Amino acid sequence: GAGVSQTPSNKVTEKGKYVELRCDPISGHTALYWYRQSLGQGPEFLIYFQGTGAADDSGLPNDRFFAVRPEGSVSTLKIQRTERGDSAVYLCASSISGGALSGTGELFFGEGSRLTVL
């Protein structure tokens, strides 16, 4: 597709379970970001990949959260031992250049994965 694709669009799980959320960025975009958006709030930065490596994971709230991007394209956000407070929309975004403030610096967001932890 032409845009950032995220699956699943909705995920309901029970407290304590493990969850994986997938992001397929725009082809050719080397930078990939994960954000979390709670109800009534703006997106909150979680982690940034440049290629295969996590260049900045300072936004991950704790060690239950982990993300990978093994081949520099698709990324998976993994949440262990889910808690009710993890309920939110998890947004993935990609851009052509994630580093320098060049050109537009525009982030292209997917529609998000809505996670509900019961």
Partner 1 sequence: QQQVKQSPQSLIVQKGGISIINCAYENTAFDYFPWYQQFPGKGPALLIAIRPDVSEKKEGRFTISFNKSAKQFSLHIMDSQPGDSATYFCAAGTYSGAGSYQLTFGKGTKLSVIP
Q: Which residues of the chain form contacts with partner 1 (CB under 8 A)?
A: 4, 31, 40-45, 48, 50, 55-56, 59, 91, 93, 95, 98-101, 104-107, 109-112
**Distance of closest approach, residue 19 Cβ to partner 1, in angstroms:** 19
**Minimal distance in Å, beta carbon 96 to partner 1?**
11
> Least distance to partner 1 from the beta carbon of 114, Å?
9
Kindly tell me which of 27 and 102 has the beta carbon lying closer to partner 1.
Answer: 102
Nearer to partner 1, 20 or 56 (CB): 56
Tokens of 68: 């990978």
- Integer Cα distance of 109 and 116 in angstroms: 20
Instruction: Return the number of the residue (5 or 76) whose C-beta is nearest partner 1.
Output: 5
Q: How does strand 113-117 pair with strand 44-50?
A: unpaired
Sequence-ordered alpha helix ranges (H) in the chain: none
User: What are the distances in angstroms from CA 106 to CA 52, 91, 95, 97, 100?
Assistant: 20, 15, 6, 9, 12
Query: What single-letter DSSP state applies at residue 90?
Result: E
Q: Which is nearer to partner 1, 2 or 101 (CB)?
A: 101
